[in-house]
Amino acid sequence: MYLPVILTLILSFVTNLTICNERPVIGILTQEVYWSYLNHLKPYNNSYIAASYVKAIEASGGRVVPVFTNRTTEYYMDVVNKVNGILVPGGGCAFNISFGISQSTNEVFHIAKRVNDGGDHFPILGICLGFELLLIASIGGKNPLTCCNSNNVNLPLNLIPTMEEKSMLFKTMPKDIRNILLTEPVTANHHKNCITKKNFTSMELDNFWNPITLNKDENNLTFISTVEAKNYPFVGLQFHPEKNAYEWERNDPHSWSAVYSARYFCDWFVNECRKNNHEYINQSMLENELIYNYPTTYVAKLNSSFEQVYFFNE
């Protein structure tokens, strides 16, 4: 008489199992060389990844492959099938979805949506520029951004109270990290574009995204600093968690609490990447594409905002 109950319990357990991929590989999008001093340093290379993003992913237990710009849809489909998540980094670019990192973000965004719609779990994390590009991709290439003044400023986050229980990031966040993020100026902001609440609504971004945190710029303009997709494991951060531990040339926070709390975001993201079993066909293919095949270049001495970058001749 207990057999149906036992079978029901077993079925419930099996269907709720979460894939735990202990060897996650994360793709980081390259971007066009936007700053003249980098172009002068490596004139034969036309794209780069700041090494701080690679270090942040590695510190959370992931490996990195570069994902190049200006490729075909088939290329990005192949990438998504092989890696376990995509990080869209900060930087600078023209907001044109037909070229550069704007184009690759747009491609990856729509491919990842289809993959998730098919029942898979494929996360994307966008940081600063990446945050902005994800918003643009979600509304067909339209630009919802407003000029603002939040460059080289450290801020605490202002959590929207009604969003905490809905938030992928905050509903499971340890209390000590939550307290640091909401009370101490530990998020590094380096952006001259913002998404305001007004534009967020008028451009219908609220159909796809939930606003999670707010901040104010130097001119008291309120902007949205964290977004999460309503039905997808996509997160955008207007601030830079990778800078707290790995970048030294600006006014970024380097206290214990700043470094400790910043780690949460990449830890969370890499753990989300463990929830699918995408993989390379063989080990040699993975080894040939890992970031370890490329050298870093020390650029901080050129008054760069980065310590090190990877250059690519695409």
- Compute the CA torsion angle 46, 85, 95, 202 (nearest 10 deg): -170
User: What one-letter code names the amino acid at 23?
Assistant: R
203-212 LR contacts (CB < 8 Å, sep 24+): 203/139, 203/142, 203/144, 204/139, 205/135, 205/138, 205/139, 205/144, 208/138, 208/139, 209/135, 209/138, 209/236, 210/163, 210/166, 210/167, 211/160, 211/163, 212/159, 212/160, 212/163, 212/167, 212/169, 212/170
Nearest-CA neighbor of 189 among 223, 145, 141? Answer: 223
| Phi then psi dihedrals of residue 22, to 5 deg | -85, 5
Q: Which residues are catalytic?
A: 128, 240
Calpha distance 57→311 (Å, rounded) = 18
215, 223 Cβ separation under 8 angstroms: yes
DSSP 123-148: -EEEETHHHHHHHHHHTTT----EEE
Look at the block and give the residue holding tokens 């067909």. Answer: 140
CA distance 84 to 25: 6
